[in-house]
Amino acid sequence: MTARQNFAYNLRSLRSTKGISQERLADLAELHRTYVSSVERCERNISIDNMEKLAAALGVDIRDLLQPNDNPSDRIR
């Protein structure tokens, strides 16, 4: 369970809870749609500035996106 995996999982989870699309989130955070997609798929080593942008776009604290969770898919890796 890396920080990156937690971030990816929480991002997707929070985003869909709020009912917004990757595209919309990307716009709000001023990032590219495909980039948000790759972050959620845990492919990217995101920087702190962009983590903050995404957190702000979702209206949460950056630490909320780093909260440990035990999503099954992470355990597989």
User: Of 36-65, which residues contact DNA (CB under 7 A)?
Assistant: 37-38, 40-41, 43-47, 49-50
2 binds DNA (CB under 7 A): no
* Cβ neighbourhood burial of 8 (10 Å; 0-12, 13-18, 19+): buried
What is the spatial distance between Cα 33 and Cα 25, in angstroms, rounded to a whole number? 8
What residue type is assigned to position 30 of the chain? E
User: Of 32-51, which residues contact a second copy (CB under 8 A)?
Assistant: 45-49, 51
Out of 7, 10, 31, 57, the residue judged to bind a second copy by CB under 8 A: 7
Binding residues vs DNA (CB under 7 A): 16, 21-23, 30-35, 37-38, 40-41, 43-47, 49-50
